[in-house]
Structure 1
Amino acid sequence: MDRGNAMFDETRNDERVNIVTKCSLDINGTKYDCIVDNISTLGASIEMNGLDQITLHVGDVGTLHVLLISIVQYLCKIVRIDSHGVGLQFVDD
């Protein structure tokens, strides 16, 4: 079920880094545990529980907390929700 198609992949102008690491997504005061499967300077693709995905909507803004060498935070907007996961675009403060 595709609930958003903002051409996340088609308009990419930076390089993705394939990585598998724990993360959490905070949207509207709710924390969702998830996994980052790739990240770039402009956004990330995450995998999360399908039941959690039902509560999210394209355009929701929140904070992604990613465990890299240390925990890094990104303000982000949901740009894609489908059976492959959730696409996030990083936004400025």
Structure 2
Amino acid sequence: MNWEPAVVFGLFVVACGLAASRARTEDWTVRRTIGVTVFLAGAAGGLFLDGLGTVSSTLSPWTEPVAAGVMLVGFVVAWTNADRSRTD
């Protein structure tokens, strides 16, 4: 039995749990919560879509670059501060 997917899945679940607990304890803004959720969705796509086998062979080379793009969008959304006060 191959144990590597189980370890990867377990670590991903831990990462999701840590994000959820920190969101509650640190009272994250909606923008940061959505950004981290999009980032984790991109990570899940990159980690797990290759192993599903439902992705056709023509789309298979694009799963990881698209997942990386989704992760980048989530990172930008989470860490850009849209709550800045305007001074003009």
TM-score, structure 1 as length reference: 0.26
Larger RCO (alpha carbons 8 Å, 6+ apart): 2
Structure showing the higher helix proportion among its residues: 2
TM-score, structure 2 as length reference: 0.27
